[in-house]
A = this chain, B = another copy of it.
């Protein structure tokens, strides 16, 4: 991970569809060299994939909610995780410090669907309680932070 790798990562975070030729021009290397570097970034796990950033409301997921989960004392955290993982509405899942063991970001189409999700969560073994906060609007999301040390 030298400065050129960081530039590549930065460029690809801004636009994942840049061609290798374009990346090569930006960082001052040849296209094959860039191809190899990016390949190594991928196989070493630095770059986990490439995703289209889609407006959620345009694919019927207009409701965003943040849900905190308090575990039962004695609950098996791994089992709970598996239960959470199968719920497709849960877009992100963080294991937290604090009273609430998990913080979920969930995306659904309607408030009714959110209700169903919350009911399902409360029925899940190991869940003592949930606390849901609805996002009225998303000001921004997953904004890439310019890479720290060798910026440009």
* Band of interface residues on A: 35 or more
B-facing residues in A4-53 (Cβ within 8 Å): 6, 9, 12-17, 45-53
List residues of chain B with CB within 8 A of the CB of A17: 16-17, 50
Binary flags per residue of A134-152, CB closer than 8 Å to B gives 1, else 0: 1111111111111111000
Copies per complex of this chain: 2
Main secondary structure of the interface of A (DSSP, over half): mixed
Where the two chains meet, the residues of A that have a C-beta atom closer than 8 Å to any C-beta of B are 1, 6, 9, 12-17, 45-55, 58-61, 64, 66, 81, 84-85, 88-98, 100, 102-103, 107, 109, 133-149
5 contacts between A and B (CB under 8 A): A66-B96, A96-B135, A96-B136, A97-B135, A100-B133
